[in-house]
Structure 1
Amino acid sequence: MWGHIFDLNNPLVGAENTWMLWTICVLGAAIAIYLEQKYEWAAKLTGAIIALVLAIVLSNFGIIPMDAPTWDNVWGFVVPLAIPLLLLQCDMRKIGKEAGRILIIFLFGSVGTACGALLAYAALHKFIPELAGLAGVFTGTYIGGTVNFAALGAAFDVSGEMISAATVADNLLMALYFFALIAIPSIGFFRKHFKHPYVDAVEASSAHADKNQTNAAAFWGRKEISLKDIALGAATAFTIVTLSDIIATIFASIIPTGNAFLGILNTLMGNKYLWITTIAMCCATFAPGFFGEIKGTNELGTFLIYIFFFVIGVPASIVMIVKNSPLLLVFAAIVVFVNMLFSFVAGKLLKFNLEDIILASNANIGGPTTAAAMAVSKGWTDLIGPIVLVGTLGYVLGTYFGLIVGSILGL
């Protein structure tokens, strides 16, 4: 048995061992939540980071595979179901201001991503092959999330070897980046120089709780819930996801892509996450007396998001980075740093909240799902709807920003 450990090509638990991988995944999320609510050190670190670290350790020690159908199923089924559960109490009439602020920072961050890619290309193009194409790929993925990665790789005809190396660098950098973002609200410099009303609200609600509890335990304390609530919540989530998938498929098939405008429209209207968010928020806005009264939806959705956080850490191969793509990690780090610089400087000048800036940058680099997950883990529930809507726009903008960067570099 011990011969399997550290062998990334032959992990202890095989990719086909579906039940074991689901058990490890769900157990990892449960351990992260337990520690976050039990110990102060874990609460400061946050359950999201704990879940990520657990996954990184298990995959890099050859215990679980870095690629398996189970992880794809989390992206394909768990995340879509989590979003409507988290949005069923999100009244659109209350979020317009927040969505506008996040959108402005998101656009500044998008420009920062493109500038960072050009800057990193200028510094490293002599050392990394096919970097012009990869600059376009990283621009797209760090504006719209991983959805744009494969599409731009194909558009720029980047070789499979370089795409694989870039994927490894992207996965590890994303994990490190999330560590940094989640830590920022606890850092004195940022608390001193930026407004942070949502952080204050979470801390204030926790201040009145049992002093023996962590903030997370106080926020997620026991609530009344019935079998009917679980049934209605699950049925609503499945129905919204199914309807969204049908609608997105119809629009993707009927909207032509003959010109740039129609291409944008096809990408936007054919994205199921846009429809999941829209339908869920319409339910919460126009029928709050029914959907808003379903208990436990936030808890169910949040648990699913913690499973997602575990899966984010799985493909982050430290060995592969050291062996094959250390400079690509440097390239990705430069792009992300410039994105954050643009986002935080613009947010400071415009006097926006720290939470808006963090989530907008997160939506750029990781997409709406990771940004929503962070909002959930921090207790910033009012920002979940706005960040999903804004982040979904990144699926469209990322592709076109990536194509522009590639064109500037002569592709």
Structure 2
Amino acid sequence: MDGSLISPENGFGLVAAFLSIAAFGFWSEGTKLGKLLSGVILTIGAGALMSNLRVIPFASPVHDLVWSYAVPLAIPLLLFKADLRRIIPEAGPLLLAFTIAAAGTLAGAIAGFHLIDLGPLGPKIAGTLSASWIGGSMNFAAVSQALELNDGPMLGAMAASDNVGGTLFLTLLVLLPGSALIRRSFPSHVMDEAPGEDEAIEAEERKHFHIADLATALALSALCCLAGYTIAGLAGIPQFGVLFVTLAALLLANVFPARMHGLNGDFDLGMYFMYIFFGVVGAGADVLLMVRTALPVFAFTGIMATVHLAFVLGGAKLFRIDLAEALIASNACALGPATAAAQAASQRWRSLVTPAIMLGILGYATANFIGVALAKFLG
């Protein structure tokens, strides 16, 4: 038995819960607390609170549906106005920031391995978690299999630590731009310029809002997902379906720019899907499981994340990388393309949504090799 008030099999109960959490997140943006912490953080917190109070489960088919459908559908909706003529020249610093972030993850994994006694499985744990923090959960699964890490309780502890640690790290990344000290130390033209531009764009979109635009945008998004995952399947690389979805959306955005710019409400609908996703991210953080079984692994993850962030901020300072670009590159590296794109979108850094996804895909493509190599090196 799961033990939650709303069982994993209660599909409509969970849909109602997650839609309510997303609605709360949007509503909270107009409150003093929401303006201080952001609606994203409060949405994640609401999901975590409800799952850890056993109102909703930590995992269910509805959770999987959000990951499998809501996130892919959101990606084209967030990209239909992506102008590559503007994005490509701006992507260079993000690639540098991503490389620095990946190096920080490796340095943190090595430091954590030597500071925390992880037992005989230490090299495999370090390799698997470092792969997850350069790529994502797909890489976690692939590297643990490649290293023959078959200890069920340990894998559960690692997954709990990875999930809770990732949620806390995402919270930190979203909060950092609000720190006066950080803003003074790390200038950002993206943060300075984006709010005004986006408010004007959103106001213009709302002025001419039509339900037909939403219907069209959602249909086009579904067609992008169909094309992307079909091509990935035919190519024998279904795990990279999101890359082809992104390419399909960018193709529409740049071949038919006038028509795509004529759509209104597509970005807002994409954000709605992302807020549902943030609620699911929070709901997956089993804090009690982490405390009971994963303290050494959680300590390792904490050290790895701390060194990673130190590298990112130090590299941003040294190479004069825009703070917003550095944080999105860090997110793409540590947490993956979905959360990086969601952060960029939620903080109204629209020019960074496409690079966030591309960098996240780069992490997917390289993390397996890096994680296995690190495990062999430490072993």
Q: Which residue of 2 aligns with 1:364?
A: 333
Shift of 1:150: 0.8
**Counterpart position of 2:57:** 65
Checking the alignment, whether the CA contact within 8 Å between 1:74 and 1:311 is kept in structure 2 is: yes
1:392 aligns with 2:361: yes
Shift of 1:9: 3.7
In structure 2, what is the Cα distance between the partners aligned to 1:45 and 1:388? 24
Q: Which amino acid is 1:328 matched to?
A: V
Superposed CA deviations along residues 202-237 of structure 1, whole A, max 9, x for unmatched, are 45469x99xxxxxxxx87984322132122101100
Deviation at 1:27, TM superposition (A): 0.7
* 1:270-289 matched pairs, under 5 angstroms: 271-289=240-258
- Residues 202 and 220 of structure 1: is their aligned pair in 2 closer, same or farther, counting only changes over 3 Å? farther
Q: 1:313 aligns with which of 257, 271, 282?
A: 282
Cα distance change of structure 1 residues 141 and 374 upon mapping to structure 2, 3 Å threshold: same
Deviations 1:164-217 (A, max 9, x none): 1001111111111111111111112211111212222245469x99xxxxxxxx
Partner of 1:42: 34
Aligned twin of 2:3: 10
Task: Trace 1:315-330 onto structure 2 (pairs within 5 A).
Answer: 315-330=284-299
In the alignment, what sits opposite 2:109?
A: 117
Match of 2:164 in 1: 172
Deviations 1:309-362 (A, max 9, x none): 111011211111111111111100111111111111112111110000000001
Residues 1:130 and 2:121 are matched in the alignment: yes
Contact 2:8/2:61 (8 A) holds in 1: yes
SS at match of 1:236: helix
TM-score (norm 2): 0.95
Equivalent AA in structure 2 for residue 251 of structure 1: A
Partner SS for 1:280? helix
Which residue number in structure 1 is paired with residue 133 of structure 2? 142
Contact 2:93 2:321 in 1 (8 A): yes
- Unpaired runs of 5+ residues, structure 1, are 1-7, 210-217, 253-265
Distance 1:251 1:385 in 2: 23
Distance 1:375 1:361 in 2: 12
TM-score by length of 1: 0.88
Which residue matches 1:235? 219
* Distance in 2 between residues matched to 1:199 and 1:324, nearest whole Å: 40
Residue 67 of structure 1: how far off its partner (Å)? 1.2
Deviation at 1:130, TM superposition (A): 1.4
> 15, 25, 37: which one pairs with 1:32?
25
Whole-angstrom CA distance in 2 between matches of 1:171 and 1:322: 13
Q: Indicate if the aligned counterparts of 1:173 and 1:332 stay in contact, CA closer than 8 A.
A: yes
Amino acid at match of 1:408: F
CA distance in 1, matches of 2:221, 2:360: 20
Helix, strand or coil for the counterpart of 1:70? helix
CA shift digits 1:70-111 (9 cap, x unpaired): 001000000000000000000111111222211111011111
Q: 2:83 aligns with which of 86, 91, 96?
A: 91
User: Given that residues 52 and 313 in structure 1 are in contact (C-alpha distance below 8 angstroms), is that contact kept between their aligned partners in structure 2?
Assistant: yes
CA shift for structure 1 position 250: 1.1
| CA-atom RMSD in angstroms | 1.9
Report the Cα distance in structure 2 between the residues aligned to 1:93 and 1:202, rounded to whole angstroms.
17
Q: Do 1:99 and 1:387's aligned partners in 2 also have CA atoms closer than 8 Å?
A: no
CA distance in 2, matches of 1:289, 1:52: 36
- Which structure 2 segments of 5+ residues have no match? none
Deviations 1:27-77 (A, max 9, x none): 1001110111x2122122111101110011111011111010100100000
Check conservation: 2:206, 2:265, Cα contact below 8 A: no
Indicate the residue corresponding to 2:322 in structure 1. 353
- Whether the 8 Å CA contact 1:12–1:63 is kept in 2: the answer is yes
Please say if residues 80 and 276 of structure 1, whose CA atoms lie closer than 8 Å, have aligned partners that are also in contact: yes
2:178 match: 186
Aligned to 1:337: 306
Off by >3 Å, runs of 4+ in structure 1: 202-206, 218-223
- Structural mapping, 1:250-265, within 5 Å: 250-252=234-236
Identity across aligned pairs (percent)?
30
Tell me, in whole angstroms, the C-alpha distance in 2 between the residues paired with 1:397 and 1:359: 18
Match of 1:245 in 2: 229
Report the counterpart of residue 4 of structure 1 in structure 2.
Answer: none
SS of 1:144's equivalent in the other structure is coil
C-alpha distance in structure 1 between counterparts of 2:120 and 2:205, whole Å? 52
Tell me, what secondary structure is at the counterpart of 1:20? helix
Amino acid aligned to 2:191:
V
Distance 1:227 1:361 in 2: 36
Q: 1:74 to 1:381 in 2, by over 3 A?
A: same
Instruction: In structure 2, give the amino acid aligned to 1:135.
Output: A
